[in-house]
Structure 1
Amino acid sequence: MTVLGVGIEPGTPLAHLQDAVDALDLAGFAVVATIDTRAAEPAVVALAAGRTLRTYPARELDTVDVPHPSPVVRRLTGTGSVAEAAAVLAAREVGEGVLVVAKQRGRGVTLAVAR
């Protein structure tokens, strides 16, 4: 099962998130995963409509070894990774938990894909 990990700046429009998703050219994804503090972010809620939304606290995300941790993300959220770590954690619940697309940046968003 394909999981889309999402890191998003507060207030980012859905159009910016959707543009980033479209750029990944995914065949589809069943799960959207992010940090718990973004669970109510309107763009995340809209993207997750009809899909499973998984959220994780920063301390849990911070336990995942990822290839591209960010000191800026750590300073802002308390974890070095949101998109990659959330994708891996959610994928572990439904599959192998393997990162297949490392983080990709868009306007106000970061995405990663795991299975």
Structure 2
Amino acid sequence: MTARGRDAATPFTEDSGVVGAGDDVRCGEPVAVHGGRVAVGVGARSDLLEAELDWAIRAALTAAGLSPGDVGVVATLDRRAGATLRAVADRHEWAVRSYRADQLAVVPVPHPSARVAAAAGTPSVAEAAALLAAGPGARLILPKSVWSGLTVAVADRAVTTALPRTASAQPGGEAGQPG
């Protein structure tokens, strides 16, 4: 069970609730991210310390005029989503998303890197992971920035408002009349 009383093995669907810290969500599953409005993407080395990661994310958020409470999800390359990232995410109650290199490689980013592509199999980790985790229509509000050897990017989730369905929008209906 997670801290929110939901069995972490329960698959998510569009209406199954929120993703909480410690929840294991696989790419492609529709989810509703609880908490903040932004996604943080992280490109990190394997010998990363929790304090380094926490500091780098906080520094990036401060640079963007944000706080840890604005974050809903932190994302990275699948082979970097280990205990260090999960510990930091759990402390802040952020969801964790991880992506394969081929999933990140198809995301258009403003700052691709040939060096990262050679090492990780994708020209972007931080920016691509942030954009994917934030969802369709997301935009970068902090492009990749290097903090103590870690790369962090922040993307804002697209916010859409659905208008209530009116009688005039229904087939055969007129304004004020049921369809």
TM-score (normalizing by structure 2) = 0.59
1:30 partner SS? strand
Size of the alignment, in residue pairs? Answer: 112
Task: Say whether 1:99 aligns with 2:157.
Answer: no
Which ranges in structure 2 are unaligned for 5 or more consecutive residues?
1-36, 157-179
| The structure with more helix, counted as a fraction of residues | 1
Which ranges in structure 1 are unaligned for 5 or more consecutive residues?
none
2:54 partner SS? helix
Which is bigger in relative contact order (C-alpha 8 A, separation at least 6)? 1
> CA separation in 2, counterparts of 1:47 and 1:62?
25
Aligned with residue 84 of structure 1, among 117, 121, 127: 127
> 2:13 aligns to what?
none
Task: Say whether 1:11 aligns with 2:44.
Answer: no
After TM superposition, list the pairs within 5 Å mapping 1:1-115 onto structure 2: 1-24=37-60, 25=62, 26-27=66-67, 28-40=70-82, 42-49=83-90, 50-92=93-135, 96-115=137-156
2:42 partner SS? strand
Q: Which letter does structure 2 place at the counterpart of 1:18?
A: D
CA RMSD, 1 decimal: 1.2
> CA separation in 2, counterparts of 1:7 and 1:64?
15
Over alpha carbons, which structure has the higher Rg? 2
Identity score, percent: 42
Q: Structure 1 residue runs of 4+, over 6 Å off?
A: none
> CA separation in 2, counterparts of 1:22 and 1:114?
15
